Amino acid sequence: MGRDDLAPQHEKSPRRAMNTYAAVARGGGGRPTMAALSHRLEASAAARMQAPGRRSDVHTVSREWLVIRYPSILCAAMLLLAWAASPAACAQTPDASAPPAVATAHPAPARPASGVYYEIFVRSFADSNGDGTGDLDGVTARLDYLHWLGVSGLWLMPIFPSPSYHGYDITDYRAVNPPYGTMADFKRLVAAAHARGIKVIIDLVANHTSNEHPWFKAAQNPASPYHDWYLWAGPHTNLKARSPWGGPVWRTLGTQHYMGIFDTHMPDLNYANPAVRKAMIAIGRFWLKQGADGFRLDAAKHIFDKFKSNDHSLAIMDQDATWWTEFRRGIDAVNPHAYLVGEVSGSHSRLLAPFFRPLNAVFDFPLAPRLIASAANERDDHLGATLVHIQDVYRAAAGHDVRDAPFLGNHDRDRVMSDLHGNLDHMKVAAALLLTLPGHPFVYYGEEIGMRGVKPDPDLREPMRWDRSRSAPGEATWEVSPIPAGEDVSVAAEQGDPHSLLTRYRELIHWRKDIAPLRDGVIADYPTGDAALAAWRLTDAGGSVLVVHNLSGAAHELALQDQAGLRFAGLLRSTRPGATLRDRTLHLPPYTSVVLTAQPAAARAGVARSP
Catalytic site includes residue 320: no
E-strand spans in 169-320? Answer: 199-204, 250-253, 256-259, 294-297
Strands (E), 404-503: 442-444
Distance separating alpha carbons of residues 447 and 319, to the nearest angstrom: 35
Residues 6+ away with beta carbon under 8 Å from 383? 370, 371, 374, 433, 534, 536
Q: How far apart are CA 219 and CA 447, in angstroms?
A: 42
CB atoms within 10 A of CB 414: 14
Here the contacts of 555-558 (C-beta below 8 Å, separation 24 or greater) are: 555/587, 555/588, 555/589, 555/590, 556/530, 556/532, 556/587, 556/588, 557/585, 557/586, 557/587, 557/588, 558/528, 558/530, 558/533, 558/585, 558/586, 558/588
**Closest to 578 (Cα-Cα) out of 587, 569, 570:** 587
Residue 571 to residue 559: CA distance in whole angstroms: 14
CA distance 545 to 589: 20
Give Dmax (Cα) for the chain. Answer: 92
Q: How far apart are CA 25 and CA 40, in angstroms?
A: 7
The one catalytic residue in 135, 185, 298, 448 is 298
Q: Is 343 a catalytic residue?
A: yes
How far, in Å, CA of 477 to CA of 123, rounded? 9
Distance, CA of 68 to CA of 469 (rounded, Å): 46
373 sits in which H/E element: helix 368-377
Burial of residue 529, with CB atoms counted within 10 A of its CB: 0-12 exposed, 13-18 middle, 19 or more buried: exposed
Selecting among 268, 305, 343, 530, the annotated active-site residue is 343
- Tell me which residues are annotated as active site: 298, 343
